[in-house]
Chains A and B, each alone.
Chain A
Amino acid sequence: MAADAKSLLNGRKTAHVETEAEELRKEHLMLDPMPRDEMNDMVMEAMTTTTKTYWVWVIGFGIAVAVLLFGAWGYMIATGMGVAGIRRPIYWGIFIVTFVFWIGISHAGTFVSAILRVFKAEFRRPFTRAAELMTTFGLAAGAIYPLVHLGRVWVFYWMIPYPNARWLWPNFRSALEWDLLAITTYLLSSTIYLFLPLIPDLAMARDRSTGIRHFFYKTFALGWRGTEAEWTRLRKAIGIFAFAIIPVMFSVHTIVSWDFAVGQVAGWHSTIFGPYFIIGAILSGVSAVVTILYVLRKTLKNMDYFIRLEHFDGLGKLILIFSMAWAYFFFNEYLLSWYGGEAAVKQVLTLHATGPTAWVWYLMLICNVAIPWLFLWNKKVRRTPWLMFIITLLVNVGMYAERYTIIPLTLGHQRSPFDWGIYNPTIVEVSIALGTLCLFIFLYLLASRAIPLVPVWEVQEGQMAHSIRKVGKTEVPSVTELE
């Protein structure tokens, strides 16, 4: 192994190598190793380079968060929920739609770094951190909504189970209580899961920084030296997490779907909602990863070394698969509801497809099914980052439309036509929704300059395990099982 790595290193230094090997290296980050110190420098440079434009963006988004999110929310708290567009019978609107959207986005990190880790999908390595950050920040943005949508947010803590002067424990039969527990669990565990693999990289940053940064990294590196014991317990912990966080992830979006599915609302009361929501969440999460990778690659220094076309290609295939899976679940849900023939459900389905807001429904199908299916089978498309950026944005638009269809549009057409209503989102609601988007971007902007966005040690570990092997007349990548 070491010999392989050595020869590769040497090979990199000597200009004359076979074209095939060069192409393989150009293609695969894992086959294109770089000395660790250079890689460290690249990551450190990406992390510490702050231009004027960067600060303009940071301040811009900071102000946007303050105004759009906290300003609008404060106004709503002071005035009343009425400034949102919800009404009888549509008691949940954009707040819950965006909530589900963010929870969906948050499936990205866990999926990429846990499931792909468990199944040893090696191409995950450079962007696990970027994806995990999405999970944490997506959850942070999403977790605001259960608070935002409360009529009396100042007493939100009544949902928290603790011995209190009211002598009252919360109702553990409520799906919202499950939500609280599941989101808390997921937020905590995904934050930890972000943090654990970060420790060696923080130690790396500690070793090459001074001043406040040094203090910050030193504190959070927990005295990491890289001893065998430390690596062992880290590996054990990551191993536990990788397996345990997957069911948690499934449970979170299942419980979010149960918010709807346990209800008696026609169109909600469906047993397939759990997996249907999970697949949708992964579809939207993986898409969002691509979106973010494109932006990182464009804006962050040295990222074109770490993030390559192979990653867009691989994620593109995943999106195509999940788009198909989503279509399968959607059709399954639709067909059986339709076939079941319950008048109210049928009416809801008909109104989705033919009512005044049918465009939302078609937008969902176009973005979630038509566009991935039409484009993502094509390798050229998958390897064109800007196209992937647009497609993945559209997939998330489609997923937003899906949640919009499921929540306000379904609620608006329930069993009694006398009570039917049209939901018009107000500026306050849209502002808060955009505000959390700004919050997400704002946090990401800060994090991109605060923590190493590439898990250097994982990349190096991967690179050490990979080599090019000559098989017959051609050269192929090969992986050595190191663990």
Chain B
Amino acid sequence: MSNKISRRDFLKISGIGVTAAAVLTGCGPASRYVVRQSYVDMPEYNQTGKSTYYATTCQECPAGCGLIVRTQEGRAIKVEGNPNHPVNQGKVCSRGLTSVQGLYNPDRIGGPLQRTRGDRSSQPLTWEEAVSTVQNGLSNPEKTAFLLGLMPDHLFDLVTEFSETTGAAAPVRYSALGTLEGRATLLAASKKMYGTDQFPYFDLSAADVVFNFGADYLETWLSPLAYSRGYRKMRKQEFGKRGYIVAFGARQSLTASNADEWIPVTPGSEGLVALAIGQITARLKGQTIPALFAGVNLQAAADAAGISLQKLQQLGQLFANAENSLAIPGGAALTTSVGYETAQAVLGLNILADNLGKPGGVFLAPGTTSTASMEAVKTLIQRCLDGEVDTLFIHGCNPIFELPDKLGFEKALEKVKTIISFAPFEDETALVSDFVFPDHTGLESFGYQRLLAGTDRSTYSSIQPVVQPVHNTKSTVDVLLAAAAAIPALSANLNYTDEVDFIQQKISSLIQAGGFFTASEMPTFWSKWLQFGGWWKNAANFGTPRDATKLDLELNMNTPQKVTEGEEFHLVTFSTQMGDGRGANRPWLQETPDPQTTVTWNSWIEMHPATAEHLGIMDDDIVEITPIGGTNTIEAIVYLYPAIRPDTVAIPFGQGHTALGRWAEGRGVNPAKLWSETTNQAGELTISDTLVTITPTGRRRPLARQESRVGVYGDGEH
């Protein structure tokens, strides 16, 4: 079936994209951009009444899925998946689908502007003034700092090059999404256990038994569409084989609810459980118990996790007896003080299961990456506080919203002389910046993205504008290059005429690198690159993880924090379709119900009905949530969630914006306000260690849920 789609859709891509045509006709760089034209004078590829399809890459999260955007009369109409793209193979998630609502968002910033920090009003600037402002900042490289998002894209490469040539500090990267995924911890543990700086790829498709320790791989984790495909294949294996999934976690995520079994373990005890399972497995397999698993006391582990020893034994048996067992660490399990150890223990289970590099086991996704750890953010904050940063460039990241209040980032910003935000929307950070030089949104810009997690082959995904820029925005890469060009010291090293030139130079090595298409020279390669949505290898070239430790390491796995029953609660923050919060201004993301609760347009706090009854709280009551040892409180509306541990409450991330436009502002709460600023061994925020108390406020507010309030809990309960 998918073959047919691809043929049909590719016919419609009509060979060559907008800019490719311009390049082929030999025009100068300026005409690489689409020029605004009247409807009566549309270019020939924009036939009235006929759709034109462009391949590009989704910029809503770092997964880098390939898109095909249907355009008509110069408008982006509908986002569809690129059927040939190795990550998503024609599929697309809610976030990608709503990216046109970002493109055409009425709350976008129309052009470069200057403002007094914190003041919503602003003065417009010209791009010349903007470039010279950037130039001022860049001319003093030691005193600059870059804060970027997680995308491994061309901007990151350019900034990295800039810092390498000038000796400026390397760009700092942060995204709350990365924190919620436990990305840094996973990468650090993977390096420790498997020896490389590569993301492990967990091959669900052929696994018999999957033990999932907290990864929300069907929702937001690393590359949800790639993992959803794996999930499907796992359920539909040959000869009717249907893999068995066990999910561990204090809160049942959508991913966990699609597992066959959900084990509600105490937050922070996942590592102990993994170790215990390892010990049981090793024993059942008749192996000598490796040092990694030897130290754990089964009974203690079961007690700490809040499950029975019998259950633990049973799980161990399940894992040991399966032909292809797989263990996945991620999410809330990794964002604790023992997250790093937990990740190692879980990755160690895979070594024990002997599945490295085997179908249904663990592979390494092609492409190395550096961790984006909280330590770097902390260093940046320190630099700011020390007055070492004169100019701070912020792109693709909204630190005011995404970082815990306790880190003091906002305070540190006061010491920075010039803050330049490249945000296309008035987000919280853009509001406290001196300048906002809005970048294009993903569907208007050029670029590429190196894919690091969800692909089985080396992949560069191409980004091209599918429509003319809606506003007077300018690509950040162009701004930086234009500024650099005026600085002799830089222009010598950063010898790129503009963004497209930069991209072409960067991808020129791919021409002969053996992708699924070849070309003799750049223009042809470029046109195919744009047409197909990127470049990738013909066949899978997974890396095989090494067993770097022989499971000889011993882990010092602390038992999880104890809570006073009925008074203190573990707080789990989970990611939703809002991603790192930037989805909140897409009305259809707001209106698409949360899969588990069907709540729309707001935040909620999930609480077990028994807990709520104990506290005298009803559905839709507003409660005040106070972190233990903290003073910031937030108020959230209670959702009685039957699939959560009674000693745990959970809040989704992404709402609670104080800026970001009409659909995002003043809606819900931001749990980052409660997070502790401590980090674990891998430099990850230990957000899942947050303990809170709950106080009813006596107020109510019905959540905008799609479900009925009664009758949905099955027979008997309601």
Contacts and interface: CB of A to CB of B under 8 A. Distances in A.
Chains A and B touch each other in the complex, with CB atoms below 8 Å apart: yes
Contacts of B25: none
B210 to A, nearest CB: 29
A421 B711 CA distance: 10
B567 interface: no
Contacts of A417: 708, 710-712
B707 interface: yes
A418 interface: yes
A419 interface: yes
A222 B708 CA distance: 62
Nearest to B713: A417
Nearest to A89: B708
Nearest to B710: A420
A420 B711 CA distance: 8
Nearest to A347: B711
A48 to B, nearest CB: 57
A421 B707 CA distance: 9
A417 B706 CA distance: 11
Nearest to B598: A418
Band of interface residues on A: under 10
B702 to A, nearest CB: 10
Interface in A163-182: none
B-side binding surface: helix, strand, loop or mixed? loop
Interface string A371-395: 0000000000000000000000000
* Chain A CB within 10 A, most for which of B707, B708, B712: B708
A382 B181 CA distance: 77
Contacts of A421: 708
A419 B712 CA distance: 9
Contacts of B711: 413, 417-418, 420
Nearest to B706: A418
A418 B710 CA distance: 8
A218 B711 CA distance: 66
Nearest to B718: A417
Nearest to B714: A417
Interface in A397-420: 413, 417-420
Contacts of B712: 417-418
A419 B598 CA distance: 12
Give the one of A413, A420, A421 with max B CB within 10 A. A420
Interface in A415-461: 417-421
Interface string A193-213: 000000000000000000000
Contacts of B707: 418
A417 B598 CA distance: 14
A421 B706 CA distance: 10
A43 B710 CA distance: 60
A316 to B, nearest CB: 42
Contacts of B706: 418
A352 to B, nearest CB: 14
Interface in B663-718: 706-708, 710-712
Contacts of A413: 711
A413 B712 CA distance: 12
B597 to A, nearest CB: 13
B701 to A, nearest CB: 16
A479 to B, nearest CB: 61
Nearest to A355: B710
A1 to B, nearest CB: 71
B617 to A, nearest CB: 19
A417 B710 CA distance: 7
Nearest to B708: A420
Contacts of B710: 417, 420
B691 to A, nearest CB: 34
A418 B713 CA distance: 9
Contacts of A419: 708
A421 B709 CA distance: 8
Interface in B276-296: none
A420 B598 CA distance: 14
Nearest to A412: B708
A413 B706 CA distance: 15
- Interface-central residue, B706, B707, B710, B712, by most chain A CB under 10 Å: B710
Nearest to A356: B710
B591 to A, nearest CB: 14
A413 B711 CA distance: 9
A458 B712 CA distance: 63
A421 B710 CA distance: 9
Nearest to A421: B708
Q: Which of B706, B711, B712 has the most CB of A within 10 A?
A: B711
A420 B712 CA distance: 9
B705 to A, nearest CB: 10
A390 to B, nearest CB: 36
Contacts of A420: 708, 710-711
A397 B710 CA distance: 28
Interface string A147-168: 0000000000000000000000
Interface string A451-480: 000000000000000000000000000000
Interface in B561-606: none
A421 B702 CA distance: 13
A279 to B, nearest CB: 33
Contacts of A418: 706-708, 711-712
B352 to A, nearest CB: 43
Contacts of B708: 417-421
B319 to A, nearest CB: 36
A417 B712 CA distance: 6
A413 B708 CA distance: 10
Interface string B415-440: 00000000000000000000000000
Interface in B174-210: none
B628 to A, nearest CB: 37
A339 B710 CA distance: 25
Nearest to B711: A417
Nearest to A420: B708
A420 B708 CA distance: 5
Nearest to B707: A418
A88 to B, nearest CB: 10
B718 to A, nearest CB: 9
Interface string B142-182: 00000000000000000000000000000000000000000
A20 B711 CA distance: 68
Interface string B30-49: 00000000000000000000
A418 B708 CA distance: 5
A128 to B, nearest CB: 50
A419 B707 CA distance: 6
A419 B708 CA distance: 6
A295 B215 CA distance: 74
A415 to B, nearest CB: 11
A417 B168 CA distance: 61
A413 B710 CA distance: 10
A235 to B, nearest CB: 60
B717 to A, nearest CB: 12
A126 B199 CA distance: 94
Interface in A271-324: none
A299 B654 CA distance: 67
A300 B706 CA distance: 55
B711 to A, nearest CB: 3
A417 B711 CA distance: 5
Interface in A233-277: none
A349 to B, nearest CB: 15
Given A413-B711, A417-B710, A417-B712, 12 more contacts: A417-B708, A417-B711, A418-B706, A418-B707, A418-B708, A418-B711, A418-B712, A419-B708, A420-B708, A420-B710, A420-B711, A421-B708
11 contacts: A413-B711, A417-B708, A417-B712, A418-B707, A418-B708, A418-B711, A418-B712, A419-B708, A420-B708, A420-B711, A421-B708
* 10 nearest A-B residue pairs (beta carbon): A417-B711, A420-B708, A420-B711, A418-B707, A418-B712, A417-B712, A417-B708, A418-B708, A420-B710, A421-B708
